[in-house]
Every structure is written in structure tokens, then in C-alpha cells.
């Protein structure tokens, strides 16, 4: 009994020493700056930077593949601190928020082609004739974007459409990838005016399918000088690099597709 115990003890000691030696021989040195970079990052692991999480993003910074200002959540002070640590030039980024380019309808049930009773996801519903809405460009309202948002910044309204809560939105872009319609866009946080429509049908059909659709009438385009608003393929688009500042243009829109920020 004593011999067996002594043998097992000796075997354990030898195995432990072997493992310790192997760990020392095969150890991979870690750049101490990696942990410093991670400490500066927000730690949300939202994926808005295009990487799996903050650790992978920090490793990419360390390799020189990307600069810290590509993190949508990292405050400017922390991004500049990382830049100083790495000797990188960091540019101040304009804060962006997500926006659903659709207002839906006051009576969404009357604007449907059929009653859907399948898997409650926008992705599944969109496979059936591009959804149950008469407007095939509109929000399907089953909340794929809401579930994808790590910051609880999206709600589904009574009109059956998704709405972003700007005060919670970080501009990570996760909702954009989740929307099968592609109608969620990142826009400048301080943009004063938006076209809340994605319909490219001709005016009559667009209005028939949705009372608040943009009809491409060009009234807003003519009201604004230059190309601050222009109509492309029957849909008005805001030039967010040079947006209109005269908010009275909103009142010129006959359908209400043009809205002020925050409404």
C-alpha cells in the first residue's frame, strides 16, 4: 500500500514538472500593450467594428490592421490614448445612429397582402413574396433588428414597424445586418431631416400601398438649392454630407415622408 502511494506521488510530481516545463517551452509571449488597449476599449463586444469582440479588435490594432477610431463605442479620449500608445494617427469620427427608413401605416392590417402565421422572424416572412405588406419595401415588424441590438435601442411601434431609440443607439450596425429589407441606415446623429421611406415604386403605386410613402414628386428637391435632397429612382434622398438646414422643407412634402430629426 505504501509502495503504491509513493509511486503515485512520484508519478504526479514528474507529470507536474513535465507540464510546467512544456508550458515554459511552448509559451507564447503576449505584447503587454494588448491588455492596455483592451482596457481602453468599452468591452461591449458588440461587433460594430467588424470583429468578433473587443479582444480581436485590440489584436487587430496591435497588428496595425486597423485604427482605434473604427470602434463606434470608444470615446474620443480613449481612442486618442490608444493611438498615442501605438503611435497611430486617430481621426475624430462623426457620431452615427441607426434609423429605420419606414414609418408604416396607422392601420397596418389594412396594408397587408395576406395573413402570416409562420416563424415569427422578418427573415422568414421576407421569403414569402417579399413579405406580407402591400409595400414590399417596408419594415416587416417582426423584430429581427430588435433582437440583434445589444443595447435595447429598438422598439416595435403600434404601426408594426421598428423604431430606433436614438439615446440608446451606439451606431454599432448590428441591426443593419439583421434587417432582410436593408432599410436600416446609419445616419449622422445631428442630421436635421430624414426621408423615412424606402419605396422605389412610381408615385401612384407607392401612395396606394402606403399613405406616407415618398412619391418622388421632387417638390423637396426643387425647394432646396444644389443637391441637398435629390430624387433617385422615385425616392428622395438626403445628402448627409451637405444636409438641408431650412426645416421648412419638411412642410412641403405632401405625404409626410420627409420628417425632422427626433420625430
Take residue 143 and report the three cell numbers written for it.
423584430
The verdict on 164 and 240 lying in the same domain is: yes
The verdict on 146 and 252 lying in the same domain is: yes
Q: Could you tell me if residue 4 is inside a domain?
A: no
Counted residue by residue, the chain has a size of 263
Question: What is the chain's Cα-based Rg?
Answer: 26
Q: Which helix (H) or strand (E) holds 187?
A: strand 184-188
The verdict on 165 and 243 lying in the same domain is: yes
List the CATH number of the domain containing 167. Answer: 3.30.70.20
pLDDT at 18: 59
The verdict on 106 and 61 lying in the same domain is: no
Number of structural domains (the chain) is 2
Q: Which helix (H) or strand (E) holds 263?
A: none
pLDDT at 11: 61
pLDDT at 27: 45
pLDDT at 3: 61
> Cα(15)–Cα(10) distance, rounded to whole angstroms?
9
| Residue 5 buriedness (CB in 10 A; 0-12 / 13-18 / 19+) | exposed
The verdict on 53 and 102 lying in the same domain is: no
Sign of CA dihedral 50, 56, 58, 61: negative
The verdict on 218 and 104 lying in the same domain is: yes
pLDDT at 12: 65
pLDDT at 233: 95
Q: Could you tell me if residue 26 is inside a domain?
A: no
Question: Nearest CA to 209 among 122, 125, 133, 130?
Answer: 133
Q: Could you tell me if residue 20 is inside a domain?
A: no
The verdict on 141 and 123 lying in the same domain is: yes
Question: Nearest CA to 104 among 161, 146, 154, 157?
Answer: 161
Q: Could you tell me if residue 19 is inside a domain?
A: no
Determine the distance from the C-alpha atom of residue 255 to the mean position of all C-alpha atoms in its chain, rounded to a whole number: 28
User: Which domain range does residue 213 map to?
Assistant: 96-260
Residues of the chain short of pLDDT 50, as ranges, are 27
pLDDT at 73: 83
CA distances in angstroms from 259 to 140, 192, 195, listed in the order given: 21, 9, 6
Q: Could you tell me if residue 5 is inside a domain?
A: no
Q: Could you tell me if residue 130 is inside a domain?
A: yes
List the CATH number of the domain containing 46. Answer: 1.10.15.40
Q: Whole-prediction pTM value?
A: 0.78
> Cα(39)–Cα(244) distance, rounded to whole angstroms?
40
Q: Could you tell me if residue 13 is inside a domain?
A: no
The verdict on 211 and 131 lying in the same domain is: yes
- Within 13 Å, how many C-alpha atoms sit on residue 127's CB side? 6
- Picking from 86, 108, 128, the residue at the C-terminal end of a domain is 86
pLDDT at 2: 60
- Picking from 56, 86, 116, the residue at the C-terminal end of a domain is 86
Amino acid at each position: 500500500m505504501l509502495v503504491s502511494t509513493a509511486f503515485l506521488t512520484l508519478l504526479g510530481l514528474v507529470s507536474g514538472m513535465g507540464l510546467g516545463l512544456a508550458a515554459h517551452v511552448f509559451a507564447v509571449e503576449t505584447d503587454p500593450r494588448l491588455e492596455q488597449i483592451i482596457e481602453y476599449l468599452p468591452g461591449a463586444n458588440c461587433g460594430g467594428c467588424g470583429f468578433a469582440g473587443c479582444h480581436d479588435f485590440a489584436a487587430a490594432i496591435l497588428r496595425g490592421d486597423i485604427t482605434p477610431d473604427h470602434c463606434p463605442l470608444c470615446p474620443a479620449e480613449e481612442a486618442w490614448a490608444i493611438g498615442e500608445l501605438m503611435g497611430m494617427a486617430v481621426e475624430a469620427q462623426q457620431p452615427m445612429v441607426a434609423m429605420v427608413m419606414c414609418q408604416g401605416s396607422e392601420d397596418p392590417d389594412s396594408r397587408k397582402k395576406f395573413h402570416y402565421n409562420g416563424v415569427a422572424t422578418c427573415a422568414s416572412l421576407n421569403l414569402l413574396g417579399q413579405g406580407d405588406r402591400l409595400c414590399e419595401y417596408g419594415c416587416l415588424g417582426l423584430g429581427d433588428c430588435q433582437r440583434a441590438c445589444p443595447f435595447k435601442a429598438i422598439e416595435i411601434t403600434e404601426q408594426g414597424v421598428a423604431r430606433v431609440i436614438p439615446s440608446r443607439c451606439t451606431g454599432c450596425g448590428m441591426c443593419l445586418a439583421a434587417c432582410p429589407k436593408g432599410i436600416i441606415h446609419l445616419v449622422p446623429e445631428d442630421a436635421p431631416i430624414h426621408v423615412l421611406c424606402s419605396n422605389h415604386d412610381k408615385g401612384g403605386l407607392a401612395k396606394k400601398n402606403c399613405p406616407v410613402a415618398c412619391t418622388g414628386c421632387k417638390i423637396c428637391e426643387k425647394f432646396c438649392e444644389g443637391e441637398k435632397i435629390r430624387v433617385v429612382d422615385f425616392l428622395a434622398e438626403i445628402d448627409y454630407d451637405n444636409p438641408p438646414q431650412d426645416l421648412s422643407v419638411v412642410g412641403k412634402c405632401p405625404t409626410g415622408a420627409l420628417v425632422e430629426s427626433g420625430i
